[in-house]
Amino acid sequence: MTRKYTIEDIARLAGVSRGTVSRVLNQHPAVSAETREKVLEIIEKLDYRPNFSARHMRTHSSNLVGFGLITDEVITTPYAVDMISGAQETLWAMGKVMLVVNAGYATEFTAASFEALLERRVEGIIYAAMYHREVELPPQMAQVPVVLANCFAADRAFPSVVPDEAAGGYRAAKNLLEKGHKRIAFINLGTPPVGSPPIPAATGRLEGFKRALAEYDVLFDEELIRYTDQTPQTNYRLTHELMQLKSPPTAIFCGNDRTAMGCYGALSSLRLRIPDDVAVLGFDNQRDIADSLWPPLTTIQLPHYEMGKWAVEYLMSTKDFSTESVQHMVDCPLIERESV
Amino acid sequence: MTRKYTIEDIARLAGVSRGTVSRVLNQHPAVSAETREKVLEIIEKLDYRPNFSARHMRTHSSNLVGFGLITDEVITTPYAVDMISGAQETLWAMGKVMLVVNAGYATEFTAASFEALLERRVEGIIYAAMYHREVELPPQMAQVPVVLANCFAADRAFPSVVPDEAAGGYRAAKNLLEKGHKRIAFINLGTPPVGSPPIPAATGRLEGFKRALAEYDVLFDEELIRYTDQTPQTNYRLTHELMQLKSPPTAIFCGNDRTAMGCYGALSSLRLRIPDDVAVLGFDNQRDIADSLWPPLTTIQLPHYEMGKWAVEYLMSTKDFSTESVQHMVDCPLIERESV
């Protein structure tokens, strides 16, 4: 929509050669101050945009080299936005701007989105996934330093940062055990479609849950483990099923905070009080949910903010990416509120 | 961190002049196919990045001109992410890539964030605000076509798209009145700090609410209007206060879905059933909340997705931005679930 000018236009209007314009654009020293100023004036007037604007060539600001963040759908879903905050605030503290592109899931736009950032001179790229999973990145990603956040490559080709799911599951169960609960239900996140690899969140948290029970000499009871497809209806129904057991649970550990919402509704319909009759513990510490429920939800923090922060810090402090294949695990702390 | 090559490096390695490299970069026809191929090979090998990569110059793709979206904090908060989806999906349908920058609120990075997009050849920019409000944009925004989404400039200097708050408030009250409710409470969004202009959401919805009552010959009762600072504690307390009135409400219209969460908790603590004892109606249709509560929340849709979509469509279809000062209002439809 804006008319695009060429180097030729600028050369003509400034009365210089294309080479001179090019030298000015490349900050070449062999240009007189007068000519340089004249060319920059034309460039500003025409609003010609090379990689960097005339204005910034004058001030020699390097902020605008920028930093890229690519997401599958992190910026179009409410769930993991804290990862964006963590990266953004860390970069701001370094005086750097962050460009974000949402690439979706392996559509025709995924590769184009990666390219769009690579074309625009970024110092490094973070690829952030909405949920903890294995990812496959297009080959051109090898051209620039990349860190994966909340995901990992099967061949560990890129450094990555992920949540310590097992530590989170362990911590959840331990908190309930410490409060004296022995009948602890776990509404875990449902398994993915047949043929897909298991979700690290589901397997990791169950492993940690079992470890805590064993430490407290509480027998693991398969009857208390349920899997949700994450619809409110299922979360409501599973809670009812659990409370109808001959020996119902005194505490319910929910695979995420949204599951806890259905659980709250079901317990309310049974006129059971939280935490007096049944304790409820969530996972994620999802903003606008965990702290807005009543009673406020005790939960495990998914360290989204910390993962975004770590990814930026690692990228900016690491010189050689050719031999790196580190996978950093971030702890999942307990956030105590009033539901346990 | 990646070594940066200059045009000189490429010219030297390809055994041609700087001018020839420049002509290849500018897709000038006066270059032999053989020379062109040789230069492009070197460019790819060195991973030299002009405005567009060698790869894309070959395919003549114009996708990478791209489109910019600047937010105050939309991508770092869960609340209005659907605005990003609306813009993103509309652009994808047009075969275009979207670059997003989070500019924060008038910090030293706000202007730099705007610049970062302007420097990177975007066809147009959407500025999207987290909540419906008046905004002031830096002067360099006049350089490129801009549409404001979920916000507006005081002088209407830019075209904008905002929710029709009054229509939403009207629709909420009308739905409750149609179901026979006459004692309808409204927990409205609290007023901003002294000296700030009123929030359009609060004033608009109250206006629509009053209009519906008048249509149904129901007297407006100031006692049933409360203002929340949007903390769960306040939402819980205000609901208790309302239910302790001599003539308590039979329905509560909540200024947003998070307010409804505190309201649900308070009604549960009073052993009151939703909707049998008290109907609850929200606002926003916030993802992960309205549909995850139990019972699922009847609410008014804030048209975030539609605003993102409209902004893109307007930008792409409008030729002359110099005389435009349209403000488009998008309706806020009722989303019926089970709480009314």
Residue by residue, DSSP assigns A5-61 as P-HHHHHHHHTS-HHHHHHHHTT-S-S-HHHHHHHHHHHHHHT---SS-HHHHHHT-
Is the Cα dihedral A53, A54, A55, A60 positive or negative?
A: positive
Q: Buried b vs exposed e over A241-270: b needs ≥16 C-beta within 10 Å?
A: ebbeeeeebbbbbbbbbbbbbbbbbbbbbe
B229: closest CA of chain A, how far (Å): 12
Q: Buried b vs exposed e over B250-272: b needs ≥16 C-beta within 10 Å?
A: bbbbbbbbbbbbbbbbbbbbeee
- Chain A residue closest to B235 (CA)? A292
Question: In chain A, what residues touch B26 (CB-CB under 8 Å)?
Answer: 6-7
Are B287 and A64 inside 8 Å of each other by CB? no
DSSP B5: P
B81: closest CA of chain A, how far (Å): 5
Phi first, then psi: what are they for B171, rounded to 5°? -65, -40
CA gap A124, A138 in Å, rounded: 15
| pLDDT tens, residue by residue, A33-47 | 788 888 888 877 776
DSSP B99: E
CB nearest A100 (choices: B56, B100, B266): B100
Q: Does residue B175 lie within any of the structural domains?
A: yes
The CATH number of the domain holding residue A312 is 3.40.50.2300
- Chain A residue closest to B46 (CA)? A143
Can you tell me whether residue A338 is helix, strand or coil?
coil
CA gap B24, B52 in Å, rounded: 11
Strands B298-301, B146-153: parallel, antiparallel or unpaired by DSSP?
unpaired
Are A50 and B51 inside 8 Å of each other by CB? yes
Q: Does residue B99 lie within any of the structural domains?
A: yes
- Cα angle: B214, vertex B217, B219; to 5 degrees: 75
- Same structural domain, B36 and B74: no
Question: In chain B, what residues touch A50 (CB-CB under 8 Å)?
Answer: 51
Q: Does residue B274 lie within any of the structural domains?
A: yes
- Chain A residue closest to B116 (CA)? A64
- Same structural domain, B221 and B117: no
Q: Does residue A145 lie within any of the structural domains?
A: yes
Q: Does residue A2 lie within any of the structural domains?
A: no
Are B97 and A109 inside 8 Å of each other by CB? yes
Chain B residues 268-307 with CB within 8 Å of chain A: 268-269, 271, 286-289, 291-296
CA distances (Å), origin B228, targets A158, B173, B254: 47, 18, 9
Are B101 and A101 inside 8 Å of each other by CB? no
Are A293 and B261 inside 8 Å of each other by CB? yes
What's the ipTM? 0.78
Q: Of the residues A61, A78, A93, which one is the last residue of a structural domain?
A: A61
Is residue B100 less than 8 Å (CB to CB) from chain A?
Answer: yes
- Same structural domain, A36 and A47: yes
Residue A263: CA atoms inside 13 Å, Cβ hemisphere, count? 34
Q: Does residue A339 lie within any of the structural domains?
A: no
Tally of structural domains, chain A? 3
CB nearest B97 (choices: A76, A88, A116): A116
Is residue B48 less than 8 Å (CB to CB) from chain A?
Answer: no
- Chain A residue closest to B87 (CA)? A76
DSSP B4: P
- Domain encompassing residue B39: 7-61
Are B258 and A102 inside 8 Å of each other by CB? no
- Same structural domain, A189 and A231: yes
Can you tell me whether residue B65 is helix, strand or coil?
helix
Q: Does residue A338 lie within any of the structural domains?
A: no
- As separate numbers, helices (DSSP H) first and strands (DSSP E) second, chain B gives 11, 12
Are B78 and A81 inside 8 Å of each other by CB? yes
Can you tell me whether residue B295 is helix, strand or coil?
coil
CB nearest B294 (choices: A232, A292, A295): A232
The CATH number of the domain holding residue A11 is 1.10.260.40
Helix then strand then coil, % of chain A, to nearest 5: 40, 20, 40
From first to last of its 340 residues, what are the pLDDT tens digits of chain B? 344 567 777 888 888 877 777 667 655 556 777 888 888 888 777 766 543 333 333 333 344 567 899 999 999 999 999 999 999 999 988 888 899 999 988 666 777 888 888 877 788 999 999 999 998 887 777 778 899 999 999 888 899 999 999 999 999 999 999 999 999 999 999 865 555 667 899 999 999 999 999 999 999 999 999 999 888 999 999 999 999 999 999 999 999 999 999 999 999 999 999 999 999 999 999 999 999 999 999 999 999 999 999 999 999 888 777 665 799 999 999 999 999 9
- DSSP per position, B21-46: HHHHHTT-SSS-HHHHHHHHHHHHHH
**pLDDT band, residue A13 (cuts 50/70/90):** confident
CB nearest B262 (choices: A113, A287, A292): A292
Q: Does residue A110 lie within any of the structural domains?
A: yes
